[in-house]
Chains A and B, each alone.
Chain A
């Protein structure tokens, strides 16, 4: 995690040792946000107010820093994720996790990085310029054409965990995750379905509550 050091001005002594004057000194730091994140690319976006995540996220604005891949490469991979697993209402913030995780692999392994860079170049070439800017139909066609290639396998395989094994996806798809700390579901609707008749008591006895 990037930490921006906060430099305290020398405080005049007052009643408490740990309180300063409240003055915030002008520091010699670059003010442009982009420059704080020293990676090679930054993906940024906003969660739409219509998304379930809008009310759950601490901020609707999200940013993912890429260390090895460029912003354009990250965007191409995000779009490839969306083509492979097209969930209309699933925010870009989740697809950005795919780019983030692939970027992490690329940062650890030069061969992985090369496969991704070459793969993205292929996507762009097949799309006639920019894969990320191509139409849905065009992107589908391009991705189908790459099926079976190692690059395709890498990205598709990564989607399984990057897109779906995170809190945002859980909230979006309606999977609450861990249950034991909430006491399970025995008092939280494990048999609350009303659109079918209840089974017989022989088939499904009542739960025991003492």
Chain B
């Protein structure tokens, strides 16, 4: 592992080692650029991952204190856990299910296509699908997305069989085992999927793509990356010219360290990234670093989500095999005849017994709830994921009343559903129920949104510095050597799982950074 001096100001400092940070670090390292990666979490591995829902949660999840507010149910049921994302090397790519869908063309220009949605801050992205296509292709190859690059689709498990049977009966046309960053055949020195069923708990076979055992080792091999684990960034410093100059972080012994930087790329996921910018306020940036627009932390999106679980007369044993075993994409289109703008995907989902009782209906008890659990073996399940509306009031702010172990204000996540989100969710619940009834379900249950696994938009990209935080390359308008490198960049949320797009933006951002360095602009 390369070791760069803390006073070496020729390095690019990347904060976070997940889909954005891990990919960016490798892409830069491959180009000969020196990178220091500061990862708050510890190093795990396929060997240390645990096939146990609660134990794994304690191993991988971001558990630093957070607070919540707003009318969303998560604030009531999981007041201290607004999001289920990770604090570990590889970030949430250790935990994700692998769904890798490109955003649709109209989803890059929702202001134009959906028009003025009252109470929403819709805005067109400063890039189009056409702009993204060459990099989407690179990302799909890098990640080994099934049904691209000659990679066969994955085989569907029992949970998928149930979804497919119902989908066919209803007349859905786009139902298959998905475009997944999980090896269906051995590829890139990694085995093919063994259908373990613990995708969310870290893939012990390495079949699922994660920066932990792909991008980061590749970066390390170049000799251009210095990965510092258990290194928690707490402040980004800038010089008198307003350029980012260093990152202050707390090491594993709780000691303050400072790494000088030529450029700083923030990829802490959409709650910590804006929090870090807000914590980096100074006399020159009184509202937070790179926040002249006031948009840092705002427009927080978590996707319209919900689940439908169904009980059948015969066993399904949905826990066997991939968690996200298949998809119905018909409803992802934009069709306001349904009563809402935007669309949603329907993706199979399975929870083990321990998490089923915790999440099926938080707080529930009694005969009806017990009946569902009695029938756990006969359950099938799906997750509904769709485009939620960005709102100024859905935002990350610093909670001055609650401090973390370093004495810094924790992030508060405020969220209220938009009417469009509610209408979409109700429609999605209804369609999910119809799919399962068509397959023979005895009873179905509508499960409310979990703590957010998709977190987006809090440092949105745009062409206008008055209404956005960064430009089309994630480059902060106010601070030209500061980059937003994770899902915080998303101008709007789209219906699709975000990881493929985050990786795509990182590859593209790396090209841009390298070009800027060559031109000596950066």
Contacts and interface: CB of A to CB of B under 8 A. Distances in A.
B184 A86 contact: no
Contacts of A178: 51-52, 198
A70 B428 CA distance: 50
B365 A84 contact: yes
Interface string B142-180: 000000000011111110111011000000000111000
Contacts, number: 156
Nearest to A199: B164
Given A85-B369, A160-B358, A190-B321, A208 B152 contact: yes
B155 A206 contact: yes
A160 B357 contact: yes
Interface in B260-289: none
B517 interface: no
A207 B155 contact: yes
B374 interface: yes
A120 to B, nearest CB: 18
A169 B352 CA distance: 12
A203 B156 contact: yes
Contact of B164 (A164, A179, A180, A204): A204
A204 B326 contact: yes
B253 interface: no
A32 interface: no
B362 to A, nearest CB: 9
B204 A170 contact: no
A87 B370 contact: yes
A189 B366 CA distance: 32
A204 B358 contact: no
Nearest to A197: B165
Given A202-B176, A203-B177, A205-B177, A196 B156 contact: no
B60 to A, nearest CB: 16
B373 interface: yes
B156 A173 contact: no
A180 B158 contact: no
Given A164-B354, A189-B317, A206-B155, A175 B376 contact: yes
Contact of A184 (B156, B185, B195, B317): B195
Contacts of B5: none
A156 B361 CA distance: 13
Contacts of A197: 165
Interface in A181-210: 181, 183-186, 188-193, 195-199, 202-208
B155 A205 contact: yes
A1 B457 CA distance: 52
A165 B54 CA distance: 8
Contacts of B185: 208
Nearest to B354: A165
Contacts of B321: 184-186, 190-191
A193 B316 contact: yes
A25 interface: no
Nearest to A193: B158
B377 interface: yes
A63 B184 CA distance: 48
> Of residues B54, B195, B204, which shows the largest number of chain A Cβ atoms within 10 Å of its Cβ?
B195
Contact of A203 (B175, B315, B320, B376): B175
Given A173-B377, A195-B314, A203 B176 contact: yes
Contacts of B369: 85
Interface residues of A, number: 45
A85 B320 contact: no
A177 interface: yes
Contacts of B154: 205
A15 interface: no
A199 B157 CA distance: 10
Interface string A153-169: 00010011101110001
Contacts of B373: 85, 87, 164, 173
User: Which residue among B154, B352, B440 has the maximum number of chain A CB atoms within 10 Å of its CB?
Assistant: B352
B290 to A, nearest CB: 41
Given A180-B204, A191-B161, A196-B161, A208 B192 contact: yes
A174 interface: yes
B197 interface: yes
Interface string A88-102: 000000000000000
B161 A193 contact: yes
B367 A86 contact: yes
A30 B136 CA distance: 75
Interface in B10-68: 51-54
B164 A190 contact: no
B160 to A, nearest CB: 6
Given A169-B353, A205-B152, A180 B314 contact: no
B1 interface: no
A147 to B, nearest CB: 9
B365 A204 contact: no
Contact of B156 (A87, A163, A176, A199): A199
Q: Which of A169, A197, A205 has the most CB of B within 10 A?
A: A205
A199 B54 CA distance: 33
A178 B358 CA distance: 19
A156 B195 contact: no
Nearest to A206: B155
Contacts of A206: 155
B137 interface: no
A190 B157 contact: yes
B193 interface: yes
A190 B157 CA distance: 5
Contact of A191 (B51, B152, B157): B157
B197 A185 contact: yes
Nearest to B314: A195
A131 B440 CA distance: 41
B196 interface: yes
B469 to A, nearest CB: 39
A180 B185 CA distance: 18
12 contacts: A86-B366, A160-B358, A165-B354, A175-B353, A180-B196, A184-B195, A190-B155, A191-B157, A199-B160, A203-B176, A204-B161, A205-B177
Interface of A: 84-87, 140, 156, 159-161, 163-165, 169-170, 173-181, 183-186, 188-193, 195-199, 202-208
Given A140-B366, A185-B196, A185-B321, 14 more contacts: A160-B358, A174-B376, A178-B52, A179-B197, A179-B320, A180-B198, A185-B320, A190-B158, A191-B157, A193-B161, A203-B164, A203-B175, A203-B176, A205-B177
